[in-house]
Chains A and B, each alone.
Chain A
Amino acid sequence: MDNPNHKTFDQELAASLSRGRFIAVTGFADRVVGAIRSDRRRRVVIRWSSIATAAAACLVAVFTIAAPSEEALNRQTFALVAHDESTQFADLLGASADLSLLSPAVEKSSVVEVLNAPGS
């Protein structure tokens, strides 16, 4: 059995909701297009930022692999210093080498006596 109150209610519900079915907003289309253009620009910036970040990461990786490590630099430095010192020692020893050439003809003790002799 149909309830007339229900019928009235359903009709008024339909009428009320129908009145709110279309709510036109002035200028809404312009706002949407503006928002989408901003969204499009933002996505382009994000895309290029990602590419730039990736490229920068690659450059950093290249320089990191090519450049010697600090430990390697330290070893190189020490080696250079050692070579330099050895060169200096070699220069000093070069004089003694000359002396060693003379040693078969000159006795060491004779040299000391001469050096220690009064008036020498």
Chain B
Amino acid sequence: MLPDDEDDKRLMALVAEGDDDALRLLVQRHHARLVGYLRGEVGSQATAEELAMEVFIRLHRAASRWRPEAKLSTYLIHIAHNLVLNEWRRRGRKPTTALEFAAEPGDITQQSARRVAELDEAFQRAIAQLPPEQRTAILLVVQQELPYEDIAEIMGVPVSSVKTWIHRARSRLRELLKDFYGNQ
């Protein structure tokens, strides 16, 4: 077990007792990864931050009921995924068309950096066009590097479904980006 996981358990026990400083430490430790995942799902930095805020509010409310056996980082993604589902229902499951993409600062005039920025933007737009379950699966396995079993638990489906969605997501992304790669 990684030291952070043990420390998460200690901090969660303090949060359950109303310790706001412990909550602050947990947020500092986990929010960057959470916002990264949510940004990949919803495509908007502002929406990603709003949802991440809601994740931690729900975590605080459920602190007394949180099971120490569960890994906190996975639990946070689980809550975030449920909020993403609510967001899709609210939007009517339409793909994100207006993506916010922050260009990399610094070496942006260099050709390689420009290509990286273009590639990242192309991937973001393609991922936004995936069906929700494929998008979640590909983000959790590639971006978050979670094992299939954790993804299956988060999404509430069998491992076989997760693997199927990942395979389909990769195929679909290749199809969407064939012109981009055809120009290489």
Contacts and interface: CB of A to CB of B under 8 A. Distances in A.
Interface stretch (B46-54, B87-95, B148-156): B46-54
Given A13-B142, A17-B40, A25 B35 contact: yes
Contacts of A23: 32, 35-36, 39, 45, 48
Given A18-B143, A21-B143, A32 B31 contact: yes
9 contacts: A17-B123, A17-B138, A18-B142, A20-B39, A20-B120, A21-B37, A25-B52, A28-B31, A35-B56
- Main SS of chain A's interface residues? helix
A32 B142 contact: no
Interface residues of B, number: 37
Contacts, number: 92
B40 A24 contact: no
Contacts of B23: 32-33, 36
Interface in A24-44: 24-25, 28-33, 35-37, 39
A25 B32 contact: yes
B173 A36 contact: no
